[in-house]
Amino acid sequence: MSGQTPPTHTLLTHEALIMFSLEELPTVVFPALFKEAFAGRQTNLLKAMVAAWPFPCLPVGSLMKKPNLETLQALLDGIDMRLTREFHPRRAKLQVLDMRNMYHAFWNIRADANDSDYKSKTLDEKQLVKVLPRYARRQRLKVIVNLSISSHFNKSKAYFLNWAKQRIGSLYFCCIKMKIWDPPDQVIRDIFNVFDPEHITELELNTDWTLLQLAHFAPYFGHMKNLQKVFLAPLHKNTSPIINITSATEAKCVHKIISQFSQFNCLPHIFMKHVHFLRDYMNQVLGCLMTPLETLSITQCLISQRDFDLFSCSQNLFKLKHLEIRGMILYALDLMPLRGLLQKVADTLEILDFQWCRM
């Protein structure tokens, strides 16, 4: 005996009829129908459904495991339809297009669920309040993404970024997590013309920039006021030495970078790997922080006795939960200050890692 044909699959065989009657379809059918249309790459239907989406949030990123340019174009065309003055679907409620590739419970509710079940699974408005200014929440549809930026974009990412640049005044673009892999300066400028750095909560910086280039990036870094986690990992180990640069200029660059740490409202997690230019400056980095750290990870960095001496008296380390010092030569250093720090964080420390340290 053959299984019963799923109702949404039956509907999809009549795409033209569905598009004509979207306004009459029960709201609870939309998510399952959208998933089927997305999997089948029925671009015309996707475009129409985005434009008429009856929920505050469309977490489409969790369906975009592999980028597909035609599907992406259909989604963005649906957003464009909403921007036209001639198009006013009666039930359209979309406020947030969430393009982050992450799990979202919204898609797991059955098609026979109640309206209230869907409302409880859409993006929590309180989360939006934390990252978006009031005028943006009130006026413009939000597009939320995580970005990995490099010197080469695939076709889908290049298309999206070009589309976004042309709609800066019509939509509000918000990047939550950003990874930077050595892009040209112009790409950096273009990205931050679209995405306000203030909304970035996680930054991963993997570049072979010189100290001068890092200093040029520093103002963008400082504008990430809501940063919660930063991972600094230059691709080349020798970031500090620069040919044809005076020591005064080098020091000025370092101080410009360090001063940005005072701009963060609350930065609890810092990860550094191969960041040699901060040797002898760790006390200044820690002193700039507005709130105590929960995580400090230092891997294969040059560290001085002066840095170690200040660990035991830096109040921004006294609430550490995770301390990681890995791949560093410590046998020539006096480790008593480190012992003093460990005594002070005994009540809070949960993870202690000293792998590959010569002590």
* Chain segment 75-117, per-residue pLDDT in tens: 999 999 988 866 666 677 899 999 999 887 888 765 555 555 5
Long-range Cβ contact pairs of 239-246 (< 8 A, separation 24 or more): 239/209, 239/210, 239/211, 239/214, 239/274, 239/275, 239/276, 239/277, 240/211, 240/276, 240/277, 240/279, 242/210, 242/211, 242/212, 245/211, 245/212
How much is the average pLDDT of 19-37? 85
Q: Which residues pair with 150 in a beta bridge?
A: 181
Q: Residue 89 has what pLDDT?
A: 67
Please report the beta strands in 182-261, taking only residues with DSSP state E, as ranges in sequence order.
202-205, 229-232
- pLDDT of 134 reads 52
Whether residue 354 has pLDDT greater than 60: yes
Categorize the per-residue pLDDT at 264 as very low, low, confident or very high, splitting at 50, 70 and 90.
Answer: very high
Q: Mean pLDDT score of the chain, rounded to an integer? A: 85
Q: What is the pLDDT of residues 223-247, one digit of tens each?
A: 999 999 999 997 554 544 445 567 8
Q: What is the mean pLDDT of residues 174-200?
A: 94
The mean per-residue pLDDT over the stretch 6-11 comes to: 52
Please say if the pLDDT value at position 6 is more than 80.
no
- Return the closest-CA partner of residue 221 out of 163, 122, 124, 288: 288
Tens digit of each residue's pLDDT (9 = 90 or more) over 188-236: 999 999 999 999 999 999 988 888 999 999 999 999 999 999 999 975 5
Q: Higher pLDDT residue, 6 or 264?
A: 264
pLDDT for residue 208: 85
Q: Are residues 157 and 164 in contact, defined by beta-carbon separation less than 8 angstroms?
A: no
- Mean pLDDT across 38-63: 93
Percent of the chain with pLDDT over 70: 82
Helix (H, G, I), strand (E, B) or coil at 120: helix
Cβ contacts of residue 21 below 8 Å, gap of 6+?
A: none
Residue 2, pLDDT > 60, answer no
In the CATH scheme, what is the code of domain 201-359? 3.80.10
pLDDT score for 5:
43
The predicted model scores a pTM of: 0.85
H/E element, 269: strand 269-273
| Per-residue pLDDT tens digits for 313-346 | 999 999 999 999 999 888 888 989 999 999 999 9
Indicate if the alpha-carbon torsion angle 224, 229, 235, 236 is positive or negative: positive
Q: What residue spans define the domains of the chain?
A: 7-174, 201-359
